[in-house]
Amino acid sequence: MITQSEYNDAILRARTYLAKAGIVLTLEEAENIEVADFGLGELDRSGLALITYVNTERCCAKELVLFPGQTCPEHRHPPVGADPGKEETFRCRWGEVYLYVAGEPADNPACKPPPAPEASYTVSHEVRLGPGEQYTIPPDTLHWFQSGPQGAVVSEFSTRSRDELDIFSDLRIARQPQIAPE
């Protein structure tokens, strides 16, 4: 768990990264940046901040902020009824992000996963995204990502987002952030 003040600090910090990327938010959006620590309580290692611009039955757009070296843990977006699962495109706007997906493992990967139980990180094909570069993740496909030393701002374009249904490889993870009472 992270504390309310850690949560609030992360919001303030995320705003500075969005400003560096030239992204303008409304006042209401800036107040409502979401901070996800995946219930691990180690926001410096695992987590991200995000703004959801729109999330209808059919499509979704978000802005993701990763602080330097922060990891979004390995997960997939499973099918839901007739929906094959969330398809998402990550487009790096600022900084750099390393995306890991199934395929030939990187010989010298730029990133190491954070410490986690066995089988929490299983895919290791590396895709580096700098500003203006993007990659599309098919539905129900394992992936994780980590920002470089500057951090990263990444636009996500996708089908409907149902974060609460995401399946993480690290079985400790609960997607909803949990804030400790102070």
Instruction: Check binding of 58 to its own copies (CB under 8 A).
Output: yes
Q: How far is the CB of 175 from its own copies (least distance, A)?
A: 22
Task: Report 93-112 residues binding its own copies (CB under 8 A).
Answer: 93-94
Q: Which residues contact 19 (CB under 8 A, 6 or more apart)?
A: none
Among 10, 14, 21, 72, binds its own copies (CB under 8 A): 21
Instruction: Check binding of 61 to its own copies (CB under 8 A).
Output: yes
Residue (28 or 118) nearer to its own copies, CB: 28
Q: How far is the CB of 171 from its own copies (least distance, A)?
A: 29
**CA 156, CA 100: separation in Å to the nearest integer?**
16
- Check: CB of residue 161 under 8 Å from CB of residue 150: no
Instruction: Check binding of 29 to its own copies (CB under 8 A).
Output: yes
Dmax (CA) for the chain in angstroms is 46
Site residue total, its own copies (CB under 8 A)? 28
Q: Tell how strand 2-3 and strand 179-180 pair up.
A: parallel
Record the tokens describing residue 47, joined without a space: 């987590």
Q: How far is the CB of 11 from its own copies (least distance, A)?
A: 16
User: Which CA distances in Å does 129 have to 147, 148, 171?
Assistant: 9, 10, 28
Residues making contact with its own copies (CB under 8 A)? 21-26, 29, 53-54, 56, 58-61, 87, 89, 91, 93-94, 131-134, 136, 155, 157-159
